[in-house]
Amino acid sequence: QQEALRKEVAAQEQMFAWTAANNSSPETVLNWAGESSGLVHQVLPAADVVARTAAEAEQLLRDASRVLEPVPASS
């Protein structure tokens, strides 16, 4: 299983090496942005995106803290 994983990693490295080597030409560059562009429903200022992301992260951390047991302080 580890050998299969090593081969997969090596194959991915080769793909990204090709991308890096050919990144200067618009004809050969891979456009990863198009992969998720359909998920964008509105354009917001970066400050709004950061504020929303921080608020969501804070809420997730608060929710997670409710299900975790406190760890006793070591002496």
Greatest C-alpha distance within the chain: 63
Amino acid at 58: E
> Structure tokens of 42?
């509105």
Global pTM value: 0.43
Q: What is the pLDDT of residues 8-43, one digit of tens each?
A: 877 777 777 776 676 777 666 666 666 677 778 899
Q: What is the pLDDT of residues 37-67, one digit of tens each?
A: 777 889 999 999 999 999 999 999 999 888 8
Tell me the domain boundaries of the chain: 2-30+42-67
* pLDDT above 90 as % of the chain: 28
Those residues whose C-beta lies under 8 Å from the C-beta of residue 30, and which sit 6 or more positions away, are 19
